[in-house]
Amino acid sequence: MEKLLEVKNLKTYFTLKSENFGVKPEVVKAVNDLSFEVNKGEILGIVGESGCGKSTLGKTILKLNHKSGGEILYNGSEIFDLSDKDLKDLRKKMQMVFQDPFSSLNPRKKVGSLLAQPMKIHNMGTKEEIEAKIDKIMEEVGINPVYKGRFPHQFSGGQRQRIGIARALMLDPEFIICDEAVSALDVSIQAQVLNLLLDLHDKYKFTYIFIAHDLAVVEFISTRILVMYLGKIVESADKNELVKDHLHPYTKALFDAFPVTDPKGRENREPVLMGDVPSPINPPSGCHFHPRCPRVMDKCRLEYPPLKEVSPGHKVACWLYE
């Protein structure tokens, strides 16, 4: 398989403002030494709870955030080393769909002009070409092009998310990051948008990174899944492999905690994972998951386990599998 994106030892740290004079400012290690690859045409799901760094990771890959270390190679070239002009050209190929379709569209602009904007910024096409493209893309995402004179507030949440997707498609990208793209939608609408994303994937062979907290959604759409916890990848595997055989205790807890739509046997469910997600400012020593882990050992408190390949394509960072 051909690699599209390669992330090596990526770090993104944020320094918090020091509250007291003379006190060393605290550092949040939002993305802490991650390495993974994205192959052409795959849908890589990234799942984790709030504060695990999944959104920061998505933004850093598109250079919407700074990085504190490591490499992000897109088709072999480091995106943080590109000149402004080269980066602008690259941006055409990488697009992002955001969570909140209410705040990611300018309320004062008509849909037609919102969709025309990306092409204007990149000086692409004549006026007629842009109009033709808008009609085509709106059709594609399931919104009648006659509505391009409307404002965003005149559409429902699901339609607005379709407009957000349409906007990402205007420049014929090859790589799209969806950051919680269906989380704000009602389930019946969410299903429609997921189907749309898959239809587009089949037609244009996009590569997606699909970031979400909802395990069921990630499990459904992805071909491969990364599970994150406090800035680290704890497990990564092909979707089918991960669903069948999740190894890391955190992945297991995540699968167990997900409410099942079947009331039978709910009295004797597995005990739930106790404790809270610790603050990413001061993550626990050793393996960050050890205070909540039901299978904790002495070693876990001291040293962070390496991400190790246990079977082809299945990596896990846990001392149990050493």
Partner 1 sequence: MDKDILLSMEDISVSFYTHRGIVKAVRNLNLQIKKGETLALVGESGCGKSVTAHTINQLIPMPPGKIESGKVIFEGRDLLKLDDKEIAALRGKRISMIFQEPMTSLNPVFKIGDQIADVFMAHEDIKKDEAMEKTVKLLELVKIPAPERRIKDYPHQLSGGMRQRVMIAMALASPEPGLLIADEPTTALDVTIQAQILRLIYDLKQDIKMSVLLITHDMGVVAETADRVIVMYAGRKMEEADVYSLFENPSHPYTQGLLNSLPSNEKYSDSTRLEAIKGTIPDLLTIGNECPFENRCPFAMSICRESFPEETKLDDDHSVWCHYVSDQVRTHTRAGSLLPTRGKE
Which CB atom, from 254 or from 316, has the smaller least distance to partner 1?
254
Among residues 85, 188, 268, 312, which is the contact residue for partner 1, using CB under 8 A?
A: 188
Which CB atom, from 133 or from 292, has the smaller least distance to partner 1?
292
Confirm if 231 and 307 have CB atoms less than 8 A apart: no
Neighbours of 304 (CB within 10 A): 17
Alpha-carbon separation of residue 167 from 22, 40, 65, 234 (angstroms): 47, 22, 21, 33
Say which amino acid occupies 52: C
Which CB atom, from 52 or from 317, has the smaller least distance to partner 1?
52
Shortest Å distance, C-beta 145 to partner 1: 18
Helix (H, G, I), strand (E, B) or coil at 52: coil
The reply to whether 159 sits near partner 1 by the rule CB under 8 A is yes
Q: How many helices (H) and strands (E) does the chain have?
A: 10, 12
Strand 232-238, strand 224-229: pairing: antiparallel
Shortest Å distance, C-beta 291 to partner 1: 12
The reply to whether 213 sits near partner 1 by the rule CB under 8 A is yes
Question: Site map for partner 1, 219-258, x if CB under 8 A?
Answer: xxx-------------------------------xx-xxx
The reply to whether 153 sits near partner 1 by the rule CB under 8 A is no
Alpha-carbon separation of residue 191 from 163, 188, 216 (angstroms): 16, 5, 12
* Alpha carbon of residue 173 to chain centroid: 17
The reply to whether 44 sits near partner 1 by the rule CB under 8 A is no
For residue 65, the 8-state DSSP code is: S
Among residues 27, 73, 82, 189, which is the contact residue for partner 1, using CB under 8 A?
A: 189
Binding to partner 1 (CB under 8 A) within 256-275 occurs at 256-264, 266, 272-274
- What span, in angstroms and rounded, lies between the C-alpha atoms of 130 and 117? 10
What residues make contact with partner 1 under the rule CB under 8 A? 49-50, 156-159, 186-192, 194-195, 198, 213-217, 219-221, 253-254, 256-264, 266, 272-274, 276-277
